[in-house]
Chain A
Amino acid sequence: MNKEFSYIDEIIDEHNERMQNLKKYYPFFRIREISLDLFMDGKYNFIDMGYIVIAILRLFIEENNFNDEGVSFKEFEKFTTEILKRDYDLYLEVGENLQLINYIFEKIINDGKPFSYSYYDPKEKKTMSSRIRLIESRIEENAIRYYITSQAIEFYLDTKEIKDESKISIQQILLSKMIESKNFKGGIEVVKRINNEVSKLMKRKNEILNILSYNVFEGNKLAEQLINTSMKWFDEEQGLFDKNKKLIELALKRIEESDSSNEEDFLKNREHIYNLETEIKRAISKHGELLNSSTDLKIKSDEIIKKVTLNKLKMSFDFKTVYEKTLDSDNVQLLEYIMNPLLKIKFKKTFNLRNMDELLTYRPNNEEEGEQVVSLEEIEYKSLDDIEDERIAHNFIIFMKLLMKYLLEQREFTLREFNEYLENKLQKDILKNGDYYSFVLQIAQKDYYDMGKLKEDENTIFDKIIIEMLSDTDKDENKGLKFKVVTLPEDTIEISSIFKITNIKFERVE
């Protein structure tokens, strides 16, 4: 780093703040530079836009801050026409006058967009962009009203009034001095300025809320600044208000008690004091509102930060994508899905006139018409359990038939041999069938089976299934079959690693 310019760090550090402070002057010079050359071939380029801007800002300050009212376009038009007539002798035809005023108005509001002010920040090493408006619009009772921004008020006051950290306190001290020196009229002006300052701070709050809606970081920084500065001075200001109120009451008392030799002076002074009292009461209540608005700002900014954090996680609806999709399907009608939700509710219901004929020719029956009763058969539904039972019975019958067939062929065999027989007859997977295991378990319940007498000692569901199987149509040899079931506990059959089963010997009895 070059030692010669030791102040370079300071230049870099302070540059951003300096540029931010310069911001409020930017729109004025921008508008001033835009001469009226382009409008109607420069017919009115002699009008000084700088003068017009300053005059118009005063109109807004008066209307917005002293009268607490927004300015309509009509009022703007009236005011500007007055200036053009008074200062430039421009008595124009109505249509042309309106065109000229519209042009001037659009320049001042920068076609509805904020003035964009950019500068290089040597600390961040990038170009910063800052936005500023002089006039903003609001919708009130379904009409557009225009308001001056706090930055524009600041700009206006900076052109003449002195800048200080808390203008309210300075003005209050000034007011005390004025009351003490019995300059009541001057005091009223001071209170008006205090009111203006309070209004400016309240306006600043709304602007910060607006900034918060699109740039949370910037908005939050500004909100904290405002809360810190306005809160810091609150107690002091409140004390000064009380003091000034007492001073006014005292002055009023003194003037009532004094034997004034000049009646005219007495009345004038009393009127001034009353006016001053009214103004200061208004100021106190406005000041109270400011306190509320600062608290409100804190609550709202917290809410917005919370909402934005949530929104970061939420996806938004992209109009461009939707358009591309409608274009892909070449169907403009799809845009109705975007338009319909915006429409008002249709609450007027219409009656089709064609129905009138039907109404007039309608003949109600003299007697009630009978209704034919149709008897319908009940439908039975199978439950899941029924379906499962059916499946088990079906599988049991297959296994039983094969067991009996094998018994008739072999006379005697073990379960291991029967397993192999089944695998050959059916398929290898059969040993993994759960129903087969329950079949083996069921059959091992008894050690002797006589198919012919099964009906007589039917004990289990399994028996019932077998009896049903041995219907009249079944082979006679099956019906006469008798066999023993002998368990072989020392021999265990293992099928895969899951199933283990004790071997059984089946033996046909003649």
Chain B
Amino acid sequence: MEKALELFSKLITGENVSSKENGDLYEEYNSNMEMYNIFNSMLDKLNLTLYQYKNALYITAGEKNKIFGYTNEELRKMLGLKVNKELYMCYFIIYNIITLFYKDSSSYSFQEYIKSEDVLKSVDSSLSSIISKLDGVAQNELEENSFKAIALLWEELPLSHSNDLSVNARAYKGSRLGYIKITFNFLKEQNLFIEVEERYYSSDRFKALIENYFEDFRGRLYEIMQSGGNN
């Protein structure tokens, strides 16, 4: 019980637990059946899911967890945004980042890293079909969560807030590259990406969650998407 609590407190505070870091707890989890059972039933009760990937443990609160998940307001605060529409813009960028690495949860990605320009191209092309239909839409009639609202926001942004493109983009919501930077900073903070000289490498945590979580909860997520989130 004590070990299970110790492991829980490490994982919940974002510490790494793997064969290299906190190795004793990792070993204990894999070899002590009693601790394994206690720990897993704790996670079960708290609606958390654990994944083991490349000799390390990763924990997730899933898609709607009232205790361990974040509210829109908290997320906006973390990203430094004011309204939900801007938050949804970031969701959309994150979705594009995922698809640059993965087509589906089981496809191996040959891509080692991506750059802001790759994301920019991807978002541009994803939104282009929506933007082309935007003519004649009254802006104030749009719901903040509609794709048209996001497309309009993107369309109105300049590419970069600096004329000199070689200058590293700042995380500032006044430009498209700025939005991408905001998103990447957030993903870095969430231990999902590592940056070296504007090259963004996906972390093992990112891979562990993408390759396992979505596969496990495929049915439920499809159902939610089908019903438009009224589930």
Which residues of A come within 8 Å of B, CB atoms?
A: 73, 98-99, 102, 109, 112-114, 131, 136-137, 139, 142-144, 213-214, 311, 314-323, 325-327, 329-347
A-B complex: 8 closest residue pairs judged by Cβ atoms: A316-B106, A112-B112, A214-B108, A317-B214, A325-B225, A317-B105, A329-B228, A335-B91
- Out of A144, A316, A325, A337, name the residue touching B201 (CB < 8 Å): A144
Which residues of B come within 8 Å of A, CB atoms?
A: 11-14, 48-49, 59-65, 67-70, 74, 84, 88, 91-92, 94-95, 98-99, 102-108, 110-114, 126, 143, 145-150, 166, 190-192, 194, 196-197, 199, 201, 203-204, 206, 209-210, 213-215, 217-218, 221-222, 224-226, 228-229
- Chain A residue nearest to B67 in the complex (CB): A346
Interface of B is mostly: mixed
Q: Are B190 and A343 in touch, CB under 8 angstroms?
A: yes
Q: Are A338 and B98 in touch, CB under 8 angstroms?
A: yes
Q: Are B70 and A343 in touch, CB under 8 angstroms?
A: yes
CA distance A139 to B218 in the complex (A): 29
- Out of B145, B166, B203, name the residue touching A332 (CB < 8 Å): B145
The smallest C-beta distance from A217 to any residue of chain B, in angstroms, reads: 14
Q: Are B88 and A335 in touch, CB under 8 angstroms?
A: yes
For A139, A311, A344, the residue with the greatest tally of chain B CB atoms inside 10 Å of its CB is: A344
Q: Chain A contacts of B105 at CB under 8 A?
A: 316-319
Q: Chain B contacts of A314 at CB under 8 A?
A: 106, 215
CA distance A496 to B98 in the complex (A): 69
Using A102-B197, A345-B61 as known contacts, say yes or no to A113 and B110 having CB atoms under 8 A apart: yes
The smallest C-beta distance from A103 to any residue of chain B, in angstroms, reads: 11
Q: Chain A contacts of B59 at CB under 8 A?
A: 345
The smallest C-beta distance from B197 to any residue of chain A, in angstroms, reads: 6
Q: Are B225 and A343 in touch, CB under 8 angstroms?
A: no
Q: Are A344 and B209 in touch, CB under 8 angstroms?
A: no
Q: Chain B contacts of A329 at CB under 8 A?
A: 225, 228-229
Q: Chain A contacts of B94 at CB under 8 A?
A: 335, 338-339, 342
Q: Are A137 and B107 in touch, CB under 8 angstroms?
A: no
Q: Are A112 and B111 in touch, CB under 8 angstroms?
A: yes
Q: Are B145 and A345 in touch, CB under 8 angstroms?
A: no
The smallest C-beta distance from A146 to any residue of chain B, in angstroms, reads: 9
Q: Are A318 and B103 in touch, CB under 8 angstroms?
A: yes
Using A319-B99, A345-B11 as known contacts, say yes or no to A333 and B112 having CB atoms under 8 A apart: no
Q: Are B206 and A342 in touch, CB under 8 angstroms?
A: yes
Q: Are A337 and B166 in touch, CB under 8 angstroms?
A: no
Q: Are B63 and A340 in touch, CB under 8 angstroms?
A: yes
What 19 new A-B contacts, CB under 8 Å, besides A144-B196, A334-B229? A112-B199, A144-B201, A316-B105, A318-B103, A319-B214, A320-B99, A323-B99, A329-B225, A330-B143, A330-B148, A331-B229, A332-B147, A334-B225, A338-B95, A339-B94, A339-B95, A341-B62, A342-B209, A344-B191
Q: Chain A contacts of B104 at CB under 8 A?
A: 316-320
CA distance A403 to B215 in the complex (A): 69
The smallest C-beta distance from A210 to any residue of chain B, in angstroms, reads: 9
Q: Are B215 and A343 in touch, CB under 8 angstroms?
A: no
- Out of A114, A137, A142, A214, name the residue touching B113 (CB < 8 Å): A137
Q: Are A346 and B192 in touch, CB under 8 angstroms?
A: no
